[in-house]
Each structure stands twice: as C-alpha cells, then as structure tokens.
Amino acid sequence: MKVEEKHIKRCIELAKKGEGYVSPNPLVGAVIVKSGKVLGEGFHKKYGDTHAEVNAFENSAGDVRGATLYSNLEPCCHSNKQTPPCVPLIISKGIKKVVISNLDSNPSVNAKGIQQLQDAGVEVITGIIEDEANELNKFYFKFVSKKLPYITIKIAQSADGFMSKTKNEQTWFTGKEAAMFVHRQRAKYDAVLVGANTVSVDDPLLTVREVKGRNPKRLIIDGSLSIPLDSKLVAGDDPEKTWVFTSLNSDDKKIIALLNVGVKVFQLKSENNKIKLIDILKKLAHEMITSLFVEGGANVFHQFITENLFDELILLQSPIKLGSGVPGFDFETAGDLKIIQKEKIGIDEKIILKKKIDHFFTGI
Amino acid sequence: MKVEEKHIKRCIELAKKGEGYVSPNPLVGAVIVKSGKVLGEGFHKKYGDTHAEVNAFENSAGDVRGATLYSNLEPCCHSNKQTPPCVPLIISKGIKKVVISNLDSNPSVNAKGIQQLQDAGVEVITGIIEDEANELNKFYFKFVSKKLPYITIKIAQSADGFMSKTKNEQTWFTGKEAAMFVHRQRAKYDAVLVGANTVSVDDPLLTVREVKGRNPKRLIIDGSLSIPLDSKLVAGDDPEKTWVFTSLNSDDKKIIALLNVGVKVFQLKSENNKIKLIDILKKLAHEMITSLFVEGGANVFHQFITENLFDELILLQSPIKLGSGVPGFDFETAGDLKIIQKEKIGIDEKIILKKKIDHFFTGI
C-alpha cells in the first residue's frame, strides 16, 4: 500500500501543475511504473491538450508492456470530445494494472472506464488517497454533478468581526501572507466575483500579482449598472476578462460603452434591479465557469450565505480590532458548518469551513 | 544596371510574401550580394516581426563585410517603434553599398535613412524599378502621406453595363477566374466594404475561399442599422472581423445584440441616417486600416465615385448581357481616369483604372 500511495501522491503533485489552465477539464497526473521503476510521468497541462495518460506514455523510456499505470482519476472512455479516450490506449499498450484515486463522476465515464479495463483483463485498484484527490478536483466534481460552479466565499475581517469601518470605505487589515494566499486562489479559480459597491469603493484589480499565475475572469454583480466607466476593471488591462451581470432594463448607452471597450455584459431578469443569484450561477455554468471565488462586499456575502449558495468559506481573521463597522461573517446564519482547516498565515489566521452535510442544491 | 534590376526584382518577389500580414508596415524584401554571389535573403513576414534587412543578415552565409544590400524600400532609421532601426545595423555590418527602389515617405524616415548611410560612407543608389516598387507599397505610401486608407472600388457588370437586374436581387455573371482574382485582392487588403443593402440582398461571406490567404476585416456602412442579425457577417464565423458603421441614434438594443456576438460597432454622426464617407475613412485610418476594397452595392459605389474618394477602380466586365437593370460604372461621373491595365480574365475582362492626376485629397 505504501508504494501505491507514493505514486498516487506524485500523480496529485503532477496534476496540480495544471491548476488554473485545464478547466473545465479535471486536474490529472499519471505515472507509469514497472518492476519498481518509474518509466514515465505526465499531466494534463491545459484545456484542449493531450491527457495525462497520453503524456505519461509519450514520456516513457523503455517497454511499458506489463507495467502499472497510476493516476488520480479514472481514465476516460468516452469519445464525444476533442481528444481520443485513454482506456483503449491503456489496453493497447499492454498495461497490466491501473491504480486510481477517484472515479470520474462525469456521467459519460462514471465507472465505465474501469469496467472496460477490467473486461480487457486489466487489474484495477481504486480509492488510493481518495480524500486528497477529491479535494484536488472539487471544482470538476461539483461542476459535472450539479452543473454549477464550485463556490468559495472569502471574507477578511478584524479580530472583533468587522469587514470594514463603513460601507463606503475600504479597510485593509490583513497581511502580506494573506494577500499571497488570496492571489494563489485567484490563479486557481476560473472567476472571482464582487459586487458593484466594491468596484465603486475599492476599485480593485482582482488580478494575480503577489504570486505567479494566470488572471481569473472578474465578475461584477451590478443590477442597476452603477460601476464607474473609469474603474480599473473597465478602463484597465484585459477588459474582456471583466463580465458584468446587470438587469434587462439597465441603461443601454452604458451597456454599449462597456461592450465597446471589450467588457462582457449579461442582461438577466431582475426585481427592483436585484438579479437572482441562481440565475447568475446557471449562466456562469453555461459559460463553462466551474469555480467561483467570491471576494465581497458585505451585500454579496450576505446573499450567497443566506441563500446557501456556496461550498466553502474562507475566513481571514486579522489581529487588528476595528471597534465598530460592517459586521463580518456570522456563524449563526451560515448553517451547519465544520472547520476543515485553521492555521496562522503571517499575522492573520486562516479558517476554512465547509458544510457538515453536503446538502448543497439537492433537488436541482 | 541589369544586375541591380535582377536583385531588386527578387526583393519585390520576397516582399510580396508578406502581403496581407505586414500592415500597417510596408512590404519589404532584402538581398545581400557580394562578388556577384547572393549571401542571404529576407523579407518582412508579419507586423511586429523583424525587418527584411535583419532577416537577410540572419540568413546570410559568409562574411557580409563589403557586400551590397538590395531592398525595395529605404531602410528605416527611426527608433520611435517596436523594432530597432536598420540603418545602424547596416553600417555596423560593414555593408559598402545600398541599392533601393523607393524612399520611405513616412515622415520619420523620408531620405534620412539614406543620409545617415551616406554620412557613414556607404554608397547609395535609388530609383531601381521604382514604379513596380511604388505599386507594391501603394497602400503604405497612401496611408503614411494622407493618413487615409488606399481605396479600390471593384465593380462587376454585364456586357451592356448593368450591375444587377434589380436593387433587391443578386445577379452573378462573372466567372471563376474573376472570383479568384477578387478573393486574391481580399487577402491583400486590410478590409473589404459593402453597404447594408448588399448584406440584406446578397448575404455575402466576404471571405477568401477561392485562393489561399487570410480573411480581411468586413465593413458595413449601415446608417439606419438595417442589416439582419442572422446575416452571415453577423451570425457566421469570425464576427469580430465584421465592423458596422452606423448613426448615433441607431437602435441601442440592436447595437447591443451586435456587440454581444462580437461585431464591432462604430457610431458616427449622420444626417438623415447618412454618414459622411470621409468620417468613416478617418475612423478607419485611426483603426490602422491602410487599404480598403469596396465591393458594393450601387449606392456605395455612387458615393465613393461622386465624392471622388478612391484611388483605383477595377471593372470586371462580363460577356453576358442583362438588357436592363441597375446601371454600372459611368466614365462620365468618375473624373479623369486612365486605364492602367486591360486583360482577359477567364470569360470576363478586367479593366484597372487610376486617376490621371493624383489630386486625391490635396489640401487635407
């Protein structure tokens, strides 16, 4: 068992190199081992590129016949996509044994890949380091099973539980390490999301600057289309990465101005200029956004939490006290949550919470 | 003289390989020759890439010291651009003699390149195969001197001088060879232009299909925004290559629909929904469109010809008679033109005309 865990750990390590680039595909690493010797490794580098298994075969030195293939995810067997399925390749290469962490919950694969391998006489072992591999592909699993993005809410707050002094003023109280952590998340998630008030007050960039990585799409919920046209998300770099969600009756001239600089505008039905969150999320899924990092402000957090539309909550707790201000995260209203991780991050504390029971969206 | 012509002809041949890709830069080829032996060749491949002279040096086998550099265009000497200037490179390489066709009429260069070469003791000969080289870079010379695109009007008409049976019906009477010629032009020009009526009646693709080459931008003059949203230029491939010129008061919802699929919309001031042609041309120059191929229909031709806003006119004359219909090109209204070329092209006849005196836009 030790050996299998070692190789699967390496698969997960390899898979992570694709973070931020493979969406809406899963993160996959693969290792080919024969007589205790690693013949080759591979991972899925970016969407549209060859799969991890194919890359592992291509990188293999020596005869792979009779070898064992390790991968964090069940190999694909469906051909309704760009790249050829991996299962026939694995069989044709004479692989004797396949060791994986998770089944692929994509309905086109789900256990069928394993079945085909077994039918061809290949031994299959599943469930190795399953939890870590589940966590690795949490975006993908949520997306293919619920047809909605995986949603993480990030709230930074003071030691006494306030998000900012007032609603119309930016308060910055978390440290460099917390900022680096946030930027690392941005590089992984397909999109970050803020409300129009945050754009007006903070004028954020929402880019990845503290660490290396690609910039996410930047989404703004703006029912009454109040964001300034000279805000950085509109007038700055890469306006085509800025997507605005607004009402059907929003000012046409302003929409034209946004579209003209390259900003994408989605007009959705609304009531009193409030768009239903679920309508935005469905639209995002339609646009192949598999993961969403919600960065504020107070109204947006409130909406996601009270409507129970999130998978994960990250609290960045500063040691600084504000005395008064806009109240931050309230355990009372957030339902049954369990703390997954709690650790110091520079001067701050990072607390990650998830639902106790994943009853998220049952019935949809 | 014979030898110089031979090498300059080769420069022009090389330069043409960049057609359609170097705009707004000029087409340039370069050949380095020493003791009668060609050491290296190069051409400007695409906008942003290295210049022809640099490529010729890079491709040169043997010592270029004391060699002669041939090029159809005066080497650049200005550094207010992406790539380093070529004149200092030529001097540092020890080139003894430079032979060119044209001076670069770009005000940043215009004879200064030659001056610098001569000051460094390099012999310079100009004016070799000048007319052909002028024709080669007619787009560039027009653009840098007049700050407007080079405009060619292409009219296909019947033997008895009609463009179509009626205004609301497409009539196709020219042959395969004429179509190939038209597509070859599309691959060279930055943009092709039609009126809204042509889009409604013909629903053209305006792409390059009969020959190899890149597709041009497709421009539509549509003051009252009447083009159907399901027309091929809007709902087909590459909508971002479709640019619509319309009035400030055009229907906002329709503009939003166009922008949303990726079409570019320019709103210009108009009178009775008619936009001044010169305003469109100035906007095009601002967007770095150096050349324009006007493909119809009757109203658009009429406007370009009566306002004298063109450099070249190509008539494709079919042997077929229509008897009646929309009148085609009328020499009377087109001002003082001279025939540059007249030749059979498949079943049709191609006639190319230019202004007798190039008084185009004097005073602007």
Percent of chain A with pLDDT over 90: 83
pLDDT digits (tens, 9 = 90+) for A115-131: 999 999 999 999 999 99
Question: Which residue on chain A is closest to B266 by alpha carbon?
Answer: A260
Contacts of B267 in chain A (CB under 8 A): 256
The alpha-carbon gap from A266 to the nearest alpha carbon of chain B, in Å, equals 9
Question: Which residue on chain B is closest to A243 by alpha carbon?
Answer: B260
- Least Cα distance to B70 among B19, B16, B116, B14 occurs for B14
Instruction: Provide the pLDDT for residue A358.
Output: 57
The alpha-carbon gap from A262 to the nearest alpha carbon of chain B, in Å, equals 9
Question: Which residue on chain B is closest to A252 by alpha carbon?
Answer: B252
The alpha-carbon gap from B228 to the nearest alpha carbon of chain A, in Å, equals 19
The alpha-carbon gap from A301 to the nearest alpha carbon of chain B, in Å, equals 29
Q: Which CATH architecture fits A147-355?
A: 3-Layer(aba) Sandwich (3.40)
Instruction: Provide the pLDDT for residue B357.
Output: 64
Q: Which CATH architecture fits A2-137?
A: 3-Layer(aba) Sandwich (3.40)
Q: Is the pLDDT of residue A43 over 90?
A: yes
Nearest to A252 among B252, B265, B267 (CB): B252
Contacts of A252 in chain B (CB under 8 A): 252-253, 255-256
Contacts of B253 in chain A (CB under 8 A): 252
Q: Is the pLDDT of residue A139 over 50?
A: yes
Catalytically active residues of B, by annotation: 53
CA B293 and chain centroid, separation: 7
Q: Is the pLDDT of residue A361 over 70?
A: no
Sign of the torsion formed by the C-alpha atoms of A128, A132, A137 and A143: positive
The alpha-carbon gap from B255 to the nearest alpha carbon of chain A, in Å, equals 7
Query: Which entry of A13, A19, A53, A287 is annotated as an active-site residue?
Result: A53
This complex has an ipTM of 0.71
The alpha-carbon gap from B249 to the nearest alpha carbon of chain A, in Å, equals 11
Interface of A to B at Cβ within 8 Å reads 252-253, 255-256, 259-260, 265, 267
Compute the count of residue pairs across chains A and B with CB atoms less than 8 Å apart: 21
Residue with tokens 């020890």: B94
Do B256 and A259 make contact, defined as CB atoms within 8 angstroms? yes
Interface of B to A at Cβ within 8 Å reads 252-253, 255-256, 259-260, 265, 267
Instruction: Return the HEC string of chain A.
Output: CHHHHHHHHHHHHHHHCCCCCCCCCCCCEEEEEECCEEEEEEECCCCCCCCHHHHHHHCCCCCCCCCEEEEEECCCCCCCCCCCCHHHHHHHCCCCEEEEEECCCCCCCCCHHHHHHHHCCCEEECCCCHHHHHHHCHHHHHHHHHCCCEEEEEEEECCCCEEECCCCCCCCCCCHHHHHHHHHHHHHCCEEEEEHHHHHHHCCCCCCCCCCCCCCEEEEECCCCCCCCCCHHHHCCCHHHEEEEEECCCCHHHHHHHHHHCCEEEEECEECCEECHHHHHHHHHHCCCCEEEECCCHHHHHHHHHCCCCCEEEEEECCCCCCCCEECCCHHHHCCEEEEEEEEECCEEEEEEEECCCCCCCCC
Q: Where are the domains of chain B?
A: 2-137, 147-355
Nearest to B252 among A256, A260, A265 (CB): A256
Give the model's confidence band at B358: pLDDT under 50 very low, under 70 low, under 90 confident, else very high: low
pLDDT digits (tens, 9 = 90+) for B327-350: 888 776 667 889 999 999 999 999
Do B256 and A256 make contact, defined as CB atoms within 8 angstroms? yes
Give the model's confidence band at B78: pLDDT under 50 very low, under 70 low, under 90 confident, else very high: confident
Question: Which residue on chain A is closest to B240 by alpha carbon?
Answer: A262
A224-260 in b/e form (b: 16+ CB < 10 A) is: ebbbeeebbbbebeebebbbbbbbeebeeebbbebbe
Q: Is the pLDDT of residue B307 over 80?
A: yes
3-state secondary structure of B160: coil
Percent of chain B with pLDDT over 90: 83
Do B265 and A260 make contact, defined as CB atoms within 8 angstroms? yes
In the annotation, is A53 catalytic? yes
| Average pLDDT of span A271-297 | 96
Contacts of A245 in chain B (CB under 8 A): none
- Of residues A95 and A164, more confidently modeled: A95
Contacts of A267 in chain B (CB under 8 A): 256
- Least Cα distance to A194 among A301, A101, A122 occurs for A301
Do B256 and A253 make contact, defined as CB atoms within 8 angstroms? no
Do A265 and B260 make contact, defined as CB atoms within 8 angstroms? yes
Question: Which residue on chain B is closest to A253 by alpha carbon?
Answer: B252
Do B253 and A252 make contact, defined as CB atoms within 8 angstroms? yes
Question: Which residue on chain A is closest to B264 by alpha carbon?
Answer: A260
Do B256 and A255 make contact, defined as CB atoms within 8 angstroms? yes
Percent of chain A with pLDDT over 70: 97
- Work out the mean pLDDT of chain B and round it to a whole number: 93
The alpha-carbon gap from A252 to the nearest alpha carbon of chain B, in Å, equals 6
Instruction: Provide the pLDDT for residue A79.
Output: 82
The alpha-carbon gap from B143 to the nearest alpha carbon of chain A, in Å, equals 26
Contacts of A246 in chain B (CB under 8 A): none
pLDDT digits (tens, 9 = 90+) for B231-253: 999 999 999 999 999 999 999 99
Nearest to A260 among B252, B253, B259 (CB): B259
Nearest to A253 among B252, B259, B260 (CB): B252
pLDDT digits (tens, 9 = 90+) for A299-338: 999 999 989 999 999 999 999 999 999 888 877 666 788 9
Nearest to A252 among B256, B260, B265 (CB): B256
First to last CA, chain B: 39
Contacts of B256 in chain A (CB under 8 A): 252, 255-256, 259, 265, 267
Which of B252, B255, B258, B259 should be substituted to probe chain A, the one whose Cβ sees the most A Cβ atoms within 10 Å?
B259
pLDDT digits (tens, 9 = 90+) for B87-121: 999 999 999 999 999 999 888 888 899 999 999 99
Contacts of B259 in chain A (CB under 8 A): 256, 259-260
The pTM of this model reads 0.81
| Average pLDDT of span B294-303 | 93
